[in-house]
Structure 1
Amino acid sequence: MRCQPFTDSQVYNWTKIKQSCLLCAEMADTAHPLCSACEGELPWLGGHCNVCALPLPATGLTCGACLKRPPNFTRVEAAWRYAFPVDSLITRFKHQAQWPMGRLLVELLSHHLQHAFAEGLPRPDLLLPVPLGRKRLRSRGFNQAGMLADWLGNSLQLPVQDRWLLRPQEGARQQELDAAARKRNLRQAFALTPTAAVRDRHVAVIDDVLTTGATAEALSRLLLKAGAKRVDVYCLARTPKPGD
């Protein structure tokens, strides 16, 4: 039985010349199913930490947490702050299986990354989606990070390895825990398959949202220990600090 849906046969026809905006239902005037007015109102990330992408008041800064204890990943790339309406689009994609929402966000993230590559961000050798445990995968029916990685890999022409990372241990849902509990919850949660060839390779971990960075840190530590030369994290959105 294949839990992961076939991403090359989505119900939304992306080849249509005339498309409706997925946010306001007006006729889209861009190359995506999104009108330019709604695109301009998305919560674009703006100023952020050069390492973990935490939203900051200005560009070119590094947050205090990354200065005090540099993470194992080299850089996080995200297109938006986790705020309305991006948070709603991600929820509809992730928890209601409305795949066109995720596909739209990936197309925009792809443009963001292509610009970053043109500005000097090193291209990774391959993409690795954050894995789901078997119980969570059966319940949801698909791994949202796997779908994002497949779409992004196709757009950026980068290989995707969706079976190298495993999650043999399932704890509580990360969304239900505070920062300290998230770190404890992820101890020994992830593993690499014996055939995972990450040594001397630059890899990018794919996820939907980065909140505390605990998942990204745990996976980056695992990959570097296995010999990866660099680990970046690509995600749709970055959660700001509470109260920001």
Structure 2
Amino acid sequence: MAILHRLKQHLSALQPYLKCLLCDETTESKQLPICTDCESELPWLRGHCTVCALPLPGTGLICGDCQRQPPLFEKVVVPWLYSFPIDSMIIRFKHHAQWPLGRLLGDLLGHHVQHSFDQGLARADLLLPVPLTERRHRQRGFNQAQMLASSLSQHLHIPVKNHCLSRIIEAPAQQALDAVTRKKNLCKAFQVAPHAAVKGLHLALVDDVLTTGATAQSLSRQLLKAGASRVDVYCLARTPKPGTQLDL
């Protein structure tokens, strides 16, 4: 065993350090392709709603929307604001199939979620990626939420199920729509597979960006109807309310 340990140490020493995907400088890590300077300059989410993660001026607050009408999901766990360079990284991953960026984002998200567990967050039993319609999946060639969920599963040792949820109605692109229109579009867009064994389970939806929360709300409603005990959301980035100015 001692010989094997020394061999692993020797091989690790021979392994080259990685190039940062953002600045192309050599990193201080042999596992993550991002340097310390670039990682520190990412738009980390500071003050936010403790339920939906809406960016807020202070910490430990609940936003007005969640106070007036608490969402069906329990908690959103998200490391970043949707601003530069995270927004560019997500777009390049999602729409231009730059998978190394997707793997990096998934790895960093895994570290963030694990830190939340270490701080007392209840651990989910199962990861469920937010689904695409079959047509959108064919066009894009992959589901970015599935790739993120796979990365999280490896980091957190939580199983992922890719076929428990399906999107049965294609709606217009959600990014440019207001909250009311999003809710109408998503009212009957999703369904839980008949074979999905979610009764009594604490589930975590996995997605790239949370904007109004309409998708998470619609999926949570279906999962709770199917018997889930709790639904959380793990995602990469959270958008502020339109017109909100935040100090980054």
The bucket for the TM-score relative to the shorter chain is over 0.9
Please tell me whether residue 205 in structure 1 is matched to residue 201 in structure 2.
no
Please tell me whether residue 43 in structure 1 is matched to residue 37 in structure 2.
no
Residue in 1 that maps onto 2:94:
94
The SS at the match of 2:78 is strand
Deviation sequence 1:21-64 (CA, Å, 0-9, x none): 00000111134101111111000001110000001111100000
Q: Percent identity?
A: 60
Q: Structure 1: where are the runs of 5+ without partners? A: 1-14
Distance 1:171 1:46 in 2: 32
Deviation sequence 1:152-203 (CA, Å, 0-9, x none): 1111111000001011111111123221111111011000111101110000
The amino acid of 1:24's aligned partner reads: C
Give TM-score, length-normalised by structure 2: 0.91
Give TM-score, length-normalised by structure 1: 0.92
Residue in 2 that maps onto 1:18:
17
Offset at 1:16?
A: 5.3
Deviation sequence 1:108-164 (CA, Å, 0-9, x none): 111111111011100000000000001101110101101110111111111000001
Residue in 1 that maps onto 2:103:
103
The SS at the match of 1:39 is helix
Please tell me whether residue 29 in structure 1 is matched to residue 28 in structure 2.
yes
The SS at the match of 1:127 is strand
The SS at the match of 1:112 is helix
> What's the RMSD between the two structures over aligned residues?
1.1
Offset at 1:243?
A: 2.3
The SS at the match of 2:124 is coil
Distance 1:201 1:105 in 2: 26
Residue in 2 that maps onto 1:65:
65
Distance 2:108 2:192 in 1: 30
Offset at 1:84?
A: 0.2
**What pairs with 1:228-243 in structure 2 (closer than 5 Å)?**
228-243=228-243
The amino acid of 1:66's aligned partner reads: C
Distance 2:16 2:129 in 1: 31
Which 4+ residue blocks in structure 1 deviate beyond 6 angstroms?
A: none
